[in-house]
């Protein structure tokens, strides 16, 4: 067993303090990272649900919260292009849903599309479409935040002062701006908004059609639209958020704060440990152990503290993410890439703290032992 | 200095001066010290407190850099020796400090195995397992192989520290009051062991001590007074006056 491990294990109180401190620092870094990606993921929430190879939006619609609409006639022209099997328009409006339990109205996003094709992967297609075909029927996003009251399928809902039949659920998920969503058919939407235009169109291509070629043809034919794959749309959305809103620096500062806390805690424990054992470190130097050996000893202790702190933090973070995701309905994911990134930062904390504390150990003068 | 002794391999100290501090705070503690210590000898260095004997010990051990003069250990000149080479030189030395300076987290066996790590590849696995126990048994500490410092007495800790210093058969053993915290019988065991090492391994054992009882076991007694090594009896008498 490593000498470093034995040294750090011997001071249980100190070890506990350091592990707790580092676990807190790791948790802060994970949370900041989680919030950052939650904001990004929620803004592009709809993109992984798109049920098609390509998406068409207005050229001026630089991000998904901007609702520049397409011309209805353009939808038909797009549908006529070679390689396109089906074009499904998607409409979007804000509405107010009456919460009977709280006796208040809440803003809700409404998606609408023709009841003969699914542009979004939000439930079983047959079930969703069969329900939407019924007049004035809506489906509610079960992942909406808990502000709309207890909604029972088979009951009536008041939306913008009009009554609709609530017939079941879909799965979409909220974002930072919208707390919840409803889905209705294009026909139901047209009853109150006859001249509304779609904000995007989902393209389902014929078998073996090359999305890149179809996209190129479309961009050449139409100058006022953008055609993208769903993943390109998601990337564009995230790029927009990163560069237009200061979320990167906001959460980045939070991560740096976590890093600094980790370094301070780890350094403080190491420093105190070294001060208490200064004669012992000086003895090692006197005996002829090299500076490299002593450095390894200190780094070993630092890494042990940090790695233990990381292992303790992970289940805590997982629990917190679950809690936050449940409460906010935003995507708080703990995946391998993000875990490895924070792991790398944790190792960095240990190495940096060790290098700072090492100076004290190396300054121990063996001549002072006599 | 006896020129015949100088021909015997050992440690030769020539005109060593040493000062602490600098500028106005500079204080010279050693003045032209010269002596020869042969391998295979047990030497006691004695003198009043503050006489410079510990400073001389640390210079011989390569724990401080020489300022003026020369210290040769065999054919090695310590003056101007690079730090890395000094580290390697000190591996040939067994240091016994007044305070044991053991790691509280390491058992006696682990402490001795740590010392053996100074020479990776020198010991077989069997030796790594067995040598610590053999050394502790030689010092009457065999049953404390797995004991940590907080489980043994001060005297026993010192014996572990002595065992640590002797583990790698050092060529030079430098000890500062090694028997101060030991009872008479254990102190005798330690001196006998050191003497045995001096003879068997042809090692130089240099002990700084005020304990006159140790003089009878020594091959040479070096007296340091006011930073000077007393060369002969007249000087010693003059010093006493």
The string of DSSP codes covering B109-140 is: HHHHHHHHTTSTTTS-HHHHHHHHHHHHHHTT
3-state class (DSSP) for residue A215: helix
The model's pLDDT over B167-188, given as tens digits with 9 standing for 90+, comes to 999 999 999 988 887 888 888 8
Judged against a pLDDT cut of 80, whether residue B5 lies above it is answered with: no
Judged against a pLDDT cut of 70, whether residue B235 lies above it is answered with: no
Nearest-by-CA chain A residue for B57:
A370
Q: pLDDT value at position B1?
A: 39
**A251/A262 Cα distance (integer angstroms):** 17
CB contact under 8 Å between A280 and B101, yes or no, is yes
Å from B216 to nearest chain A CA? Answer: 24
With 0.90 as the threshold, say if the pTM is over it. Answer: no
What value does the mean pLDDT take over residues A81-108?
89
* Interchain contact B105–A (C-beta under 8 A): yes
**A334/A320 Cα distance (integer angstroms):** 11
What value does the mean pLDDT take over residues B192-216?
89
* Band (B2; pLDDT cuts 50, 70, 90): very low
ipTM for the whole complex? 0.90
CB A224 within 8 A of CB A197: no
Q: What angle do CA A297, A6, A270 make, to 5 degrees?
A: 50
**A208/B153 Cα distance (integer angstroms):** 84
The model's pLDDT over A141-198, given as tens digits with 9 standing for 90+, comes to 998 988 888 888 999 999 999 999 999 999 998 887 788 999 999 999 999 999 999 9
Q: pLDDT value at position B104?
A: 94
Token duo for residue B18: 């040493």
Judged against a pLDDT cut of 50, whether residue B44 lies above it is answered with: yes
Beta bridge partners of B88: none
Judged against a pLDDT cut of 90, whether residue B151 lies above it is answered with: yes
In degrees and rounded to multiples of 5, residue A230 shows phi and psi of -55, -40
The model's pLDDT over B81-120, given as tens digits with 9 standing for 90+, comes to 998 899 899 999 999 988 889 999 999 999 999 999 999 8
> Which chain A residues are closer than 8 Å to B110 by Cβ?
3, 6
CB contact under 8 Å between A280 and B90, yes or no, is no
**B117/B222 Cα distance (integer angstroms):** 34
Token duo for residue B131: 């040598």
| CA distances for A184 relative to A146, A179, B56, angstroms | 21, 17, 95
Nearest-by-CA chain B residue for A6:
B105
> Which chain B residues are closer than 8 Å to A3 by Cβ?
103, 106, 110, 114
CB contact under 8 Å between B89 and A280, yes or no, is no
* Interchain contact B234–A (C-beta under 8 A): no
Q: pLDDT value at position B3?
A: 47
Q: Which of A3, A277, A279 sits opposite B114 (nearest CB)?
A: A3
Stretch among A259-268, A295-304, B18-27, B189-198 having the lowest mean pLDDT = B189-198
CB contact under 8 Å between A10 and B61, yes or no, is no
| CA distances for B231 relative to A311, B43, B52, B73, B220, angstroms | 66, 14, 15, 20, 12
Q: Which residue has the higher pLDDT, B190 or A20?
A: A20
Token duo for residue A2: 């490593």
**Which strand (E) or helix (H) includes residue A304?**
helix A291-328
Q: What angle do CA B218, B221, B223 make, to 5 degrees?
A: 155
Indicate the average pLDDT of chain A. Answer: 90
**B30/B231 Cα distance (integer angstroms):** 14
Who contacts A222 (Cβ-Cβ below 8 Å, separation ≥6)? A74, A77, A78
CB contact under 8 Å between B87 and A288, yes or no, is yes
Residue B114 CA to its chain's centroid (Å): 19
**A207/B22 Cα distance (integer angstroms):** 89
| CA distances for A304 relative to A5, A211, A351, A355, B26, angstroms | 7, 51, 11, 15, 45
**A73/A54 Cα distance (integer angstroms):** 18
Q: Which residue has the higher pLDDT, A329 or A261?
A: A261
């Amino acid at each position: 067993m490593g000498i470093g491990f034995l040294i750090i294990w011997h001071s249980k109180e100190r070890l506990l303090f350091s592990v707790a401190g580092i676990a807190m620092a790791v948790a802060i870094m994970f949370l900041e990272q989680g919030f950052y990606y939650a904001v990004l993921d929620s803004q592009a929430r709809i993109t992984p649900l798109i049920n098609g190879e390509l998406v068409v939006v207005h050229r001026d619609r630089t991000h998904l919260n901007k609702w520049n609409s397409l011309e209805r006639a353009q939808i038909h022209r797009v549908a006529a292009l070679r390689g396109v099997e089906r074009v499904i328009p998607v409409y979007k409006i804000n509405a107010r849903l009456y919460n009977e339990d709280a006796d208040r109205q809440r803003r809700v996003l409404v998606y609408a599309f023709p009841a003969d094709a699914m542009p979004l992967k939000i439930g079983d297609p047959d079930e969703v479409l069969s329900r939407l075909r019924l007049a004035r029927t809506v489906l509610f996003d079960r992942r909406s935040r808990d502000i709309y009251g207890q909604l029972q399928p088979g009951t009536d809902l008041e939306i913008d002062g009009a009554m609709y039949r609530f017939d079941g659920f879909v799965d979409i998920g909220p974002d930072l701006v919208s707390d919840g969503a409803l889905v209705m058919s294009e026909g139901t939407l047209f009853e109150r908004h006859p001249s509304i235009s779609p904000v995007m169109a989902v393209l389902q291509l014929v078998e073996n059609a090359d999305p890149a070629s179809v996209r190129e043809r479309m961009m050449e034919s139409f100058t006022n639209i953008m055609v993208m794959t769903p993943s390109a749309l998601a990337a564009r959305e995230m790029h927009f958020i990163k560069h237009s809103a200061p979320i990167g620096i906001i959460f980045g500062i939070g991560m740096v704060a976590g890093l600094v806390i980790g370094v301070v805690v780890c350094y403080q424990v190491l420093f105190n440990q070294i001060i208490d054992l200064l004669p012992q470190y000086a003895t090692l130097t006197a005996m002829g152990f090299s500076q490299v050996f002593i450095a390894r000893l200190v780094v070993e202790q630092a890494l042990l503290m940090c790695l233990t702190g990381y292992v303790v933090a992970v289940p805590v973070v997982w629990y917190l993410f679950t809690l936050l995701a449940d409460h906010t309905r935003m995507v708080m994911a703990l995946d391998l890439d993000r875990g490895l990134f924070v792991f790398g930062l944790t190792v960095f904390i240990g190495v940096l703290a060790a290098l700072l504390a090492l100076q004290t150990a190396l300054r121990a003068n063996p001549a002072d032992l006599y | 200095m006896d020129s015949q002794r100088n021909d015997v391999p050992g440690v030769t100290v020539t005109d060593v001066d040493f000062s602490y501090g600098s500028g106005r705070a500079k204080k010279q503690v050693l003045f032209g010290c010269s002596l020869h210590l042969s391998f295979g000898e047990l030497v006691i260095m004695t003198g009043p407190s503050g006489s410079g004997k510990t400073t001389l010990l640390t210079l011989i051990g390569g724990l401080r850099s020489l300022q003026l003069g020369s210290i040769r250990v065999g054919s090695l000149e310590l003056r101007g020796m690079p730090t890395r080479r000094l580290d390697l030189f000190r591996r040939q030395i067994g240091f016994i400090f007044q305070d044991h300076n053991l790691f509280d987290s390491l058992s006696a066996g682990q402490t001795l195995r740590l010392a053996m790590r100074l020479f990776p590849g020198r010991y077989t696995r069997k030796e790594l397992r067995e040598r610590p126990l053999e050394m502790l048994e030689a010092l009457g500490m065999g049953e404390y192989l797995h004991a940590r410092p907080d489980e043994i007495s001060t005297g026993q800790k010192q014996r572990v520290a002595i065992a640590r210093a002797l583990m790698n058969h050092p060529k030079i053993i430098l000890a500062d009051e090694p028997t101060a915290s030991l009872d008479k019988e254990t102190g005798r065991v330690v001196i006998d062991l050191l003497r045995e090492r001096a003879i068997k391994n042809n090692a130089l054992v240099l002990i700084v001590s005020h304990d006159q009882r140790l003089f009878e076991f020594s091959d040479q007694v070096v007296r340091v007074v006011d930073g000077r090594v007393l060369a002969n009896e007249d000087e010693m008498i003059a010093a006493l006056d």
